[in-house]
Amino acid sequence: MSRNRVVIFDTTLRDGEQSPGASMTIDEKLEIAHALDELGVDVIEAGFPIASPGDFEAVRRIAAEVRRPIICGLARCNDADIDRAWEALREAAHPRIHVFLATSAIHREFKLRMTKEQIIERAVEAVKRAKSYCDDVEFSPEDAARTELDFLTAVVQAAVDAGATTINIPDTVGYSVPEQFAAVFRHLLENVRGADRVVFSAHCHDDLGLAVANSLAAVKAGARQVECTINGIGERAGNAALEEIVMALRVRRDYFGCDTGIRTERLYPVSRLVSNITGLVVQRNKAIVGRNAFAHEAGIHQDGILKERTTYEIMRPEDVGVPRSELVLGKHSGRHALRQRLIELGYRPTEEQLDKIFAAFKKLADRKKEIYDADLEALMEDHLRAIEETWRLESFHVFAGNSVTPTATVRLRNLRDGVHEDAATGDGPVDAVFRAIERITGISAQLTDYQVRSVTVGKDAQGEVTVEVERDGRTWRGRGLSTDIIEASAQAYLAALNRIVHYQHRTGEPNTETAEAVGE
Ligand code: KIV
Ligand code: ZN
């Protein structure tokens, strides 16, 4: 690989999944892994195999199925973790074991209760054990950005001597600033013997909003791997956003002089995929993939763009795969036209999916005159994302106004035992619908977030509702789509409750409420 090539290490499935409420099923992880492969990432960190049987299985299946990129599994510096990581990775075409151990004084003293010497010894043993399984071994001194530079250098030296091939420098708590972070890389590159034989990597969290800036500063200082996630999802404020790093390197090649292997026109579709699977909505003004990222509002800007687009545009929407929001299909459009447009938008619907999407499209066309790309995307994603359903909305009726108690009657189908109906009152029509759903399903959860957005413009635009609920200390998300926002709300709430039921079935966790409700 050329010296100017930056390795893109995607950790959406590992660090990204640590975002509250972003947990994914194994099939969803596989789908994202395939999309990351098509995007051209070099390394996929598929999970932390010892963390749970689900994590293990996800890494194992991704390792077995996704053959081009390096597939990486995380492990702490102990034998059990490393052995488990290898068990999950052994079928990979290109496996990597990533071992980590905290090195900062705070972590040494309060978390690990280990001396500096013990840390070095443990790191060396771990790298050697990982190395006994595979050649490609990454070592991360956790909380490196807050570690004394001389000790960090000593640990890194020991890891390199033990055989690590990638040294990752995490800013675990998002504390660093670009100049300082760059200085760490310069120091390590100059002072570690054999530094030229390993790849130095940056892994930044966004607590101060500096994750991307710190990662880019590291690249400028010589880092040749960046760890990042799609849409910047991750613990707390998240990780460095892959799409921002990749486009910064591309648009400012004059400054960084580096390339990546990313097919940038896949950035937007992958961003949508991850947002839909995790339920984590991308903020409108998010760089590169936000809805407004290429919207020019000011008259002067619009005028400039019409005369010469580079007056106000440093990259083109099509460079990152943002579809043009134009009127596409209508009531009379056929299946063939729909397929063509979906292909142009980056999807490859199977015949079965197309049947469903076409039916949904016709239904939508009856309710909505103008159908935009964004509508099609929303429909497609809604169907791709259809999680295993236990409960499905059949119909609802609400009685509401500003001088009556809102009342909802809801009819749900339980896919195992038929139709159930109940009614409830609430603070508003949506609350009444949610309460009726809870009465029917027997599952109660605390609503912690509720958002509505319109997918396109116009009074007949489809509304997309996302909800977040909490139950037994876990967070679940759901999404619904309809031209009627009460219907979209009901679908979103049901999607979240279906996820709870699905989880309970998977883990065998009892749910007496549900059991009663379905008469088991
Ligand atoms: O943020 C961090 O320190 C990590 C390590 C496991 C690399 O995610
Ligand atoms: Zn991290």
Instruction: Kindly give the pairing relationship between strand 225-228 and strand 7-10.
Output: parallel
Instruction: Kindly give the pairing relationship between strand 199-204 and strand 166-171.
Output: parallel
Is residue 152's pLDDT more than 90? yes
pLDDT tens per residue, range 267-298: 999 998 898 888 888 988 999 999 788 876 67
pLDDT of residue 515: 34
State the average pLDDT over residues 395-421: 94
- Distance (Å, rounded) from C-alpha 212 to C-alpha 251? 15
Ligand 1: residue whose CA is nearest its atom 6: 100
Range of the domain at 400: 391-519
pLDDT tier at 306, thresholds 50, 70, 90: confident
State the average pLDDT over residues 15-24: 86
Q: Determine the 3-state secondary structure of 43 from DSSP.
A: strand
CATH number reported for the structural domain that contains residue 403 in this entry:
3.30.160.270
pLDDT of residue 313: 85
pLDDT of residue 33: 97
Distance from Cα 395 to the centre of ligand 1, integer Å: 46
**Of 24 and 118, which is predicted with more confidence?**
118
- Residue 421 in any domain: the answer is yes
Is residue 501's pLDDT more than 60? yes
Residue 192 and residue 50 share a domain: yes
pLDDT of residue 310: 86
pLDDT of residue 513: 42
Distance from Cα 201 to the centre of ligand 2, integer Å: 12
Total domain count, the chain? 3
pTM for this entry: 0.80
Ligand 1: residue whose CA is nearest its atom 5: 142
Ligand nearest to the CA of 172: 1
- Residue 205 in any domain: the answer is yes
- Distances in whole angstroms, Cα of residue 248 to Cα of each of 30, 204, 221, 244, 258: 28, 16, 15, 6, 10
Distance from Cα 14 to the centre of ligand 2, integer Å: 9
Residue 442 and residue 377 share a domain: no
pLDDT of residue 512: 38
CB 357 within 8 Å of CB 341 = no
Closest CA to 157 of 117, 191, 199: 191
Is residue 520's pLDDT more than 50? no
Measured between alpha carbons, how far apart are the two ends of the chain, in Å? 59
Is residue 346's pLDDT more than 50? yes
- Distance (Å, rounded) from C-alpha 477 to C-alpha 471? 11
- Distance (Å, rounded) from C-alpha 10 to C-alpha 495? 28
CATH number reported for the structural domain that contains residue 203 in this entry:
3.20.20.70
Residue 58 and residue 151 share a domain: yes
Residue 159 and residue 91 share a domain: yes
Which atom belonging to ligand 1 lies closest to the Cα atom of 239?
A: 1
- Residue 286 in any domain: the answer is no
pLDDT of residue 517: 35
Ligand 1: residue whose CA is nearest its atom 8: 15
The last residue of a domain, from among 278, 311, 343 = 278
- Distances in whole angstroms, Cα of residue 321 to Cα of each of 281, 297, 372: 18, 21, 16
Q: Output the six-digit token pair for 142.
A: 């956790």
Four-CA torsion 101, 105, 107, 113, nearest 10 degrees:
90
pLDDT of residue 307: 80
State the average pLDDT over residues 112-135: 98
User: Who surrounds ion ligand 2 at CB < 5 A?
Assistant: 15
Ligand nearest to the CA of 168: 1
Residue 314 and residue 238 share a domain: no
pLDDT tier at 330, thresholds 50, 70, 90: confident
Residue 234 and residue 191 share a domain: yes
Q: Output the six-digit token pair for 508.
A: 């065998």
Is residue 519's pLDDT more than 50? no
pLDDT of residue 506: 65
State the average pLDDT over residues 388-408: 92
Distance from Cα 174 to the centre of ligand 2, integer Å: 9
Residues 6+ apart with CB under 8 A from 85: 49, 50, 59, 73, 74, 75, 97, 98, 130
Q: Output the six-digit token pair for 427.
A: 């603070």
Q: Determine the 3-state secondary structure of 200 from DSSP.
A: strand
Distance from Cα 142 to the centre of ligand 1, integer Å: 6
Residue 235 and residue 365 share a domain: no
Q: What is the DSSP string of 400-457?
A: --TTS--EEEEEEEETTTEEEEEEEE-SSHHHHHHHHHHHHH----EEEEEEEEESSS
pLDDT tens per residue, range 374-389: 788 888 877 776 666 7
- Residue 28 in any domain: the answer is yes
Which residues line the pocket of ligand 1, CB cutoff 6 A?
A: 15, 100, 140, 142, 168, 170, 172, 203, 205
The last residue of a domain, from among 226, 248, 278 = 278
- Residue 290 in any domain: the answer is no
Mutate to test the pocket of ligand 1, among 9, 11, 43, 100 (most ligand atoms within 8 A of CB): 100
Residue 350 and residue 414 share a domain: no
- Distance (Å, rounded) from C-alpha 495 to C-alpha 276? 12
Distance from Cα 497 to the centre of ligand 2, integer Å: 29
Ligand 1: residue whose CA is nearest its atom 1: 172
The last residue of a domain, from among 226, 249, 278 = 278
Is residue 497's pLDDT more than 60? yes
Residue 179 and residue 266 share a domain: yes
pLDDT tier at 332, thresholds 50, 70, 90: confident
Residue 380 and residue 395 share a domain: no
CB 358 within 8 Å of CB 335 = yes
Is residue 326's pLDDT more than 80? no
Distance from Cα 140 to the centre of ligand 1, integer Å: 7
- Residue 211 in any domain: the answer is yes
pLDDT tier at 415, thresholds 50, 70, 90: confident
State the average pLDDT over residues 118-139: 98
- Residue 284 in any domain: the answer is no
Average pLDDT of the residues of the chain? 90
